[in-house]
Amino acid sequence: MKTVKRLSLSTLALSLSFVSMTFIAGCKAPSPKTSEGETNAVEKSAVETKGDEASIKTEIQGEDSVVQPVMITLADVIADPSRDKDRARDQFRNPLETLEFFEVRPNKSVAEIWPGWYAKILAPYAKSNAGAYTAILLPFGINERYDARIEAFKETYSDIDTYGVVAFAEFDGANISGLEDNSQDVILTFRNVHNWMKNGTEQDAFSAFYTALKPGGILGVVEHRLPESVVQDPKGTSGYVQESYMKALAKEAGFEFVGASEVNANPRDTADHPFGVWTLPPRSRTPEAGDREYADFKPELYKNIGESDRATLKFRKPL
């Protein structure tokens, strides 16, 4: 009696040598028809291509095993019910369009700096598409609050069945440890540049990303956008950063500017708020009773703006 085993594409990739040995040692070569008239079939489903992604289903039947690798699209992952709690923010973060713009595709090695909301998309996508996902976290030992977050993140993403094998590295705002040079196809950072500006390490950060990327690799940057008509605070205390400043940082590190997308633009955001970008959702900071701004503060005005206007910039490490 034949048995059927179904393996995800990422599982197949991780155990390629084992599968190869199994087929050599334990399976008979398939033939169109046996002498008794029984059929050993090799069936392959159609390949449906959408953009740069393929939905591929292959079934190989033999006496002992069936292997069925399956590729899923970014849209599939984003629509998965496991993301229902995160879905309200999709209208502001536009994950499908953003990740497609940053060339997140099957078989890619993707690293995310100080990961969070996007990890629930990137990790399962890599798992199902023969890719690799590396979460580059803060170093352990900064303070108890950050340590608790790091431990919780690692515990959540230790679920191999859901997220695959997630790799971990560390980034202190200037240097990456635990990640090989020239190893990543894509490095992504979401709303972090102002944090490095606060500590004066923004140029070191871009240089570290350059070193970690393969030649031809992509650096994707999303950041709260400061209008070019406003003077840039070198410490980024409002949370907003000019596109021109980020382009200059990337150029100094050796990157080529590829292009900008307006997918995360919000024309309602003036970037001029009492508590900087944190006045807007999702933080929605408000003054405390007795503060100078308290009497005139109207939280609904800021809630109606939505999340911040954001620059979405793509850079490439030259070949």
Q: Is residue 20 domain-shared with residue 132, that is, in the same domain?
A: no
Query: 200 lies in a domain?
Result: yes
What pLDDT does residue 70 have? Answer: 54
Query: 100 lies in a domain?
Result: yes
Q: Is residue 40 domain-shared with residue 174, that is, in the same domain?
A: no
The model's pLDDT over 124-148, given as tens digits with 9 standing for 90+, comes to 999 999 999 999 999 999 999 999 9
Residue with more model confidence, 6 or 197: 197
Q: Is residue 239 domain-shared with residue 181, that is, in the same domain?
A: yes
Ranking 7-16, 146-155, 257-266, 298-307 by mean pLDDT, the lowest is 7-16
Average pLDDT over residues 243-248: 98
Residue with more model confidence, 71 or 278: 278
For 174, residues 6+ apart whose C-beta sits below 8 A from its C-beta are: 196, 199, 201, 204, 205, 208
Residue 53: domain span: 9-67
The CATH number of whichever domain residue 203 belongs to comes to 3.40.50.150
239-253 burial, b if ≥16 CB within 10 A, otherwise e? bbbbbebbbebbeeb
Q: At 294, is the pLDDT very low, low, confident or very high (cuts 50, 70, 90)?
A: confident
Q: Is residue 122 domain-shared with residue 139, that is, in the same domain?
A: yes
- Report the chain's terminal Cα–Cα distance, integer Å: 53
Q: Is residue 54 domain-shared with residue 189, that is, in the same domain?
A: no
Q: At 295, is the pLDDT very low, low, confident or very high (cuts 50, 70, 90)?
A: confident
Strand order in the sheet with 66-67: 42-44, 58-61, 66-67
- The reply to whether the predicted model has a pTM over 0.85 is no
DSSP 34-74: -TTS----EEEPPPEEETTEEE-BEEEE-SS-EE--B---H
Q: Is residue 79 domain-shared with residue 55, that is, in the same domain?
A: no
Residue 11 predicted with pLDDT over 80: no
Query: 4 lies in a domain?
Result: no
Query: 243 lies in a domain?
Result: yes
Query: 1 lies in a domain?
Result: no
What pLDDT does residue 72 have? Answer: 92
Please provide the average confidence, as pLDDT, over all residues in the chain.
84
Query: 22 lies in a domain?
Result: yes
Query: 3 lies in a domain?
Result: no
Rounded percentage of the chain residues whose pLDDT exceeds 90: 75
Q: At 12, is the pLDDT very low, low, confident or very high (cuts 50, 70, 90)?
A: very low
Average pLDDT over residues 282-307: 90
What pLDDT does residue 304 have? Answer: 96
Cα→Cα distances 103→24, 65, 108, 128, 209, Å = 37, 35, 9, 16, 16
What pLDDT does residue 53 have? Answer: 46
What pLDDT does residue 39 have? Answer: 36
What pLDDT does residue 132 have? Answer: 98
Query: 171 lies in a domain?
Result: yes
Ranking 50-59, 69-78, 122-131, 192-201 by mean pLDDT, the lowest is 50-59
The model's pLDDT over 215-233, given as tens digits with 9 standing for 90+, comes to 999 999 999 999 999 999 9
Number of domains in the chain: 2
What pLDDT does residue 65 have? Answer: 46
For the ranges 24-38, 43-57, 155-169, the one whose mean pLDDT is highest: 155-169
Q: Is residue 159 domain-shared with residue 121, that is, in the same domain?
A: yes
Q: At 296, is the pLDDT very low, low, confident or very high (cuts 50, 70, 90)?
A: confident
What pLDDT does residue 317 have? Answer: 98
